[in-house]
Structure 1
Amino acid sequence: MYQRIEKNEWSGNEAVEVKVFNKTKKEVLKLLESRKNENTRIEKLKSFRDNE
């Protein structure tokens, strides 16, 4: 939210800003979860290869 204020993207409406913040937070959490899942998948593939 502070970055939006510094960049003059602040709408002045707190309810709108909270919605923007929550949407951004959800998107970031989804990306982090998908990266974690990708890393887990890669580790499993490596372990299968090492077991052969």
Structure 2
Amino acid sequence: MVDGFNLLPYLVPQALTDVVERLVPELQERGVYRTEYEGTTLREHLELGPA
């Protein structure tokens, strides 16, 4: 299971583009990365609950 990635664009300039154009769509297709947000605030997007 992966819970995050560290990208260093100054070392690997193509890395962010690869993640956005290749990895994210693949993860969404597999159902492990959301395709849309249910909430309307950043707090809801991060699933932090009520303030």
Fold similarity call, TM over 0.5: no
Q: TM-score, normalised by structure 2?
A: 0.31
Question: Which has more helix, going by share of residues?
Answer: 1
Structure number with larger C-alpha Rg: 1
